[in-house]
Amino acid sequence: MRRASLVILALAIAVLLPGCGGGGDSGTPLVKWYVFREPSGAFEAAARACSEAAVGRYRIEIAELPAQADAQREQLVRRLAARDSDIDIVYMDVIWTAEFAEAGWILPWEGTAAGELSTGVLEGPLATATYKDRLWAAPLTSNTQLLWYRKSLVPEGQVPATWDALIDFAERLAPGQNLVQEQGARYEGLTVWFNSVLASAGGAVVEGAGQDPEVVIGGQPTVRALEVLRRFARSAVADPALATNTEDPARLRFQEGSSAFMLNWPFVYPSAREDAPAIFQDMGWARYPGVTPDQPSRPPLGGANLAVGAFSQHPELTREAIRCLVSAEHQATYAVEGGLPPTLARVYDDPAVRAEYPFADLLRDSISDAAPRPVSPAYNDISRAIYTTIHPLRTIDPRKDAEALEDKVSKAVRSEGLL
Amino acid sequence: MTTQAPGAAAGPEALAPDAPPVVVAGRPRLTGRARAERNLAWKLCAPAVVVMLLVTAYPIAYAIWLSLFKYDLRFPANRSFVGLRNYTDVLTSSLWWQDLFTTLLITAFSVAIELVLGMLLALVMHRAIFGRRTVRASILIPYGIVTVVGALAWRFAFDPATGFVNELLNSEEAWLSDRVPSMIVIVLTEVWKTTPFMALLLLAGLTLVPDQLHQAARVDGATTVQRFTKITLPLIKPAILVALLFRTLDAFRIFDSVFILTRGANNTETLSILGYNQLVNRLHLGIGSAVSVLIFVCVLVIAFLFVKGFGANLSQQRGGR
């Protein structure tokens, strides 16, 4: 008995030991890319292709981050604050640039390298990688939300252009297929939604970037935006689970067929093709709704940039790897396979991309007009202050909550108090 | 251990090491031999005490130290001493009081329900005639499941789109979108998860009740209810108090199930989540540590109330956990 267990232990050690080396083929420096698991495998494919193209100079290995942006940030921030040298390539949501740069967790791009990375990049995504006139990251993917609808329920030419028109239209449809899917859970996605409605109403959260921006939230546009959100949440066309819905549950509900509209990122398009072909055939798209009919809407701006971790042991190889990962060729792969819109303008003209994205031009226009979220090292606190104040949307009191937002955002900008 | 010193005699002194022997009223001065034995006891305890100090006292002291600073882990160079300002910031914030109230609500309801259910289960386990081991093992299953996994199962069960609960109840309630239904789900999850622990502690108490007492009472014509209230309950009162104390302290620090079910939305944020948000999400070590220290103080108050107020006697239940 005793001997048998010893033999098993020895065997286990013998089997496990070679796996512990980590490096594998020693000699090739390993560049670790911290990024979420992209379901289509487009990131892995690009990492493999870049490693092969580097012919032994470096090898990119993916280290998995959680799927949700909040959880991704929590993990990255915890590691970077502890000066983790394992992080070479930092996958950054567009809203983290100021925070990571100010904390000294990422290395800036200078001179010609910065110029090369910026060439041909759409203005919105480029601005998210820039902080205090310096380029801190390479734009990898951009994103914006579109208004998705069922062509059988919404005749062409009658697609609503404002939130009020959208709610009115949906309310006239038969119950059982009249829902409008949105993301109303208490998380970053709620700030995304609010920020877009606020910008469309002519307002903003803060003006100016840096550590001491001017807080402008709380005025008439804020009240108007809150009224729009409350009307939506209280209407019969909001999903019963609005207050807990995030992107994926919203997509699944749309695919079930109970909804006429959905506001969501374009990943829903390839997803529907795979999961719900009947709905996919019926899916139309239009620009994200605005607030006033005479003002063009300001759609949300998402996406991600790649930065060099400040504690990386091979910063130059990391730069090389990043240049490869954000190249036009790979951006087309992310778009076609993963449903992640490119940051380079010319990739939208790529025939392969246009074949997958019949709405490529709409995407490019939406991204150009998109409303960026506030640029501040305290962004995380600002966003928390916003979504904790307005959630759940049903209970909004526009005037009172506009004042509360002004008060809480002013504190959050200075990183004060409990949140 | 020496053969002459009964363990019980060493107990009370060991609990109050700093008090000089003369202060103990009505007791004779310790003899030289007793003193030597007590010194030996202290030497034998020393390694354990040192380890305890290292793993608990140091972090607690460090947290108290950190709580006196404005300290953002993103900008470690800007650390500045602010004295008690973090505490005034926390205690004047409505969020703290709101979360404290939420936490107390969850604690009170879940512990009360657990006590009743746990007692029933303990009686079943105690009186089970056949399959005693199977009964005990199966009751313990929920306690063996990882809290996060259990909470996810409950979240999916109550999801309006995919869950079975709404279909069972024939309702359209979005359970986790409102305060009251969310609290109900949280309390249910807590109860489901930790009732077995409560039952186990109570079972330990039940096994201490001598069967002769029940037999004698039955001869005297006492009913089942009378035997439970007059014999069982008074005899297992110490076990009940200890079980309540452990569960109250645990429930007060509730984190994982709420984090999974609502992430603190709909006004269900508990104090632990509040602390987590300051420390892990915002990296504000100063104010986050102040929250942690205040939670620690609350825990001390609860323990004090139980020990002094209700007379819970921890020393009789060592190893109960």
E strands in B80-200: 80-81
Segment B214-269, tens digit of pLDDT: 899 999 998 989 988 888 898 999 899 999 999 999 999 999 999 999 888 888 99
Distance of alpha carbon A75 from alpha carbon A70, whole angstroms:
9
Contact B198, B247 (CB under 8 A): yes
pLDDT of A23 strictly over 70: no
Interface size, chain A vs chain B, as Cβ–Cβ contacts under 8 Å: 79
- Residues 6 or more apart whose CB falls under 8 angstroms from that of A180 comprise A166, A167, A170, A232, A237, A238, A239, A259, A260, A261, A262, A263
Question: What confidence score (pLDDT) does residue A210 get?
Answer: 66
Question: What confidence score (pLDDT) does residue B173 get?
Answer: 81
Distance of alpha carbon B91 from alpha carbon B290, whole angstroms:
10
Q: What is the DSSP letter of B30?
A: P
Within 10 Å of residue B128's Cβ, how many Cβ atoms? 14
Contact A174, A257 (CB under 8 A): no
Question: What confidence score (pLDDT) does residue A138 get?
Answer: 96
Question: What confidence score (pLDDT) does residue A19 get?
Answer: 43
- For B108, the token pair is 């009170």
Crossing angle of helices B94-127 and B233-252, rounded to 10° = 140
For chain B, give the mean pLDDT: 85
- Complex ipTM: 0.75
Its sign, for the CA torsion B40, B43, B49, B51, is negative
Distance of alpha carbon A141 from alpha carbon A125, whole angstroms:
8
Pick from A187, A247, A179: nearest CA to B266? A187
- For A323, the token pair is 């240049």
Residue of A244, A254, A379 to mutate, interface with B, max B Cβ within 10 Å:
A244
- Model confidence at A13, in pLDDT bands (50, 70, 90)? low
Name which of A21-35, A310-324, B29-43 the model is least confident about: A21-35
Distance of alpha carbon B70 from alpha carbon B80, whole angstroms:
5
Distance of alpha carbon A253 from alpha carbon A180, whole angstroms:
10
Q: Alpha carbon of B285 to those of A7, B73, B194: distances in Å?
A: 49, 7, 31
pLDDT of B18 strictly over 70: no
- Model confidence at A8, in pLDDT bands (50, 70, 90)? low
Taking the model in full, what pTM does it have? 0.79
Residues of A in CB contact (< 8 Å) with B are: 70, 74, 77-78, 81, 99, 102-103, 185-187, 240-244, 249, 252-253, 256, 377, 380-381, 384, 391-392, 415-419
Contact A59, A30 (CB under 8 A): yes
Question: What confidence score (pLDDT) does residue A18 get?
Answer: 46
Contacts of B177 in chain A (CB under 8 A): 240-244, 392
| A108 burial via Cβ count (<10 Å: 0-12, 13-18, 19+) | middle
Contacts of B159 in chain A (CB under 8 A): 241
Both ends of chain B: CA-CA distance in Å? 25
Question: What confidence score (pLDDT) does residue B20 get?
Answer: 47
- Residues 6 or more apart whose CB falls under 8 angstroms from that of A105 comprise A80, A81, A90, A309, A310, A311
Residues of B in CB contact (< 8 Å) with A are: 72-75, 89-90, 93, 95-96, 159-161, 172, 174, 176-178, 262-266, 274, 277-278, 280-284, 287, 291
Distance of alpha carbon A70 from alpha carbon A190, whole angstroms:
12
pLDDT of A413 strictly over 70: yes
Task: Quickly list DSSP for A3-46.
Answer: HHHHHHHHHHHHHHHHHHT-SSSTTSPEEEEEEE--TT-HHHHH
| A207 burial via Cβ count (<10 Å: 0-12, 13-18, 19+) | exposed
Contacts of B283 in chain A (CB under 8 A): 77, 81
Question: What confidence score (pLDDT) does residue B77 get?
Answer: 83
E strands in A116-168: 130-131, 134-135, 138-143, 146-150
Segment A279-299, tens digit of pLDDT: 999 999 999 999 999 999 999
Both ends of chain A: CA-CA distance in Å? 58
Asked if omega into A392 is within 30° of 0 (cis), the reply is yes
Does the beta-carbon distance from B160 to A78 stay under 8 Å?
Answer: no
Segment B112-141, tens digit of pLDDT: 999 999 999 999 888 877 888 888 888 889
